[in-house]
A = this chain, B = another copy of it.
Amino acid sequence: MSSSKQDAAAPLINAAPQPKPDPLAGTPCAACSVRDLSLCNVLREDEMEILSQIVTTVDVAPREPIIDEGEVAGSLFNVTGGAVKLYKLMPDGRRQITGFLFAGDFLGIALNDIYAYSAEAVNQVKLCRFPSTKLEDLLSQFPHMEKRLLGMASNELVQAQEHMLLLGRKSAKEKVCSFLLSLSRRAEKRGEQPSPISVPMSRADIGDYLGLTTETVSRTFTNLKRDGFIRLLEGGIVDIPDMEKLEELADGF
């Protein structure tokens, strides 16, 4: 039997699971699986209701653009599924991927209302989209949401600094190990297992993230596999038998 509205003659056995009508019913937020990871986790239910009024969900196919550097920043997004890559391009086509986003991550920080980077779907991606003008109104209403946003930005900044250390000072092997570790740790934060992890992005993407070529990434994976530090399974799944060993390799021991 369903929990839908029923006439008074309904058998008592149905009475128990009958809370007040969910104000989020019909909005995408009702079934949101990453609410506790994202911007929204500081909101009370009545605040969620207001937020849910302005949100729309978007599906993006692999390799499709989400935002483009230089574009007017009209939207902010929360990733609710799939993987997104952020990148900057040089005039001659050289590319630096500045980050990968997964479920719960936030997207769309802009400067002077212009996006400072581009974003593209790695695999099938689900986003929830906030029009930036309307979200700003909300931020003024909910100061704790603004604090939350500042916290998320600070977190991104710390990650960025960690990545600069990687780009400027680590060897290819250390870079790849650090990359796998960060994927593992983030998967764990999302409630997944730390060890057989999904690596949905291509070797070329990994290279552009780590400041390496695809060939070097491929060779490094091969070496790590040969030495028993990782196992490459079907479908871009990587198994890490000894996490501590990988941590050592990531720091050059």
Contacts and interface: CB of A to CB of B under 8 A. Distances in A.
Contact of A154 (B111, B147, B161, B162): B111
A91 interface: yes
A96, A147, A251, A253 pick with most chain B CB within 10 angstroms: A96
Contacts of A109: 154, 157-158
Most B CB within 10 A of own CB, among A149, A162, A167? A167
B88 A252 contact: no
Interface of A: 86, 88, 90-92, 94-96, 98, 109-111, 116-117, 139-140, 143, 146-147, 149-150, 153-158, 160-165, 167-170, 208, 210-211, 251-253
15 contacts: A86-B161, A88-B164, A96-B164, A98-B160, A109-B158, A111-B154, A111-B158, A116-B161, A139-B147, A143-B146, A146-B146, A150-B153, A153-B154, A153-B157, A168-B208
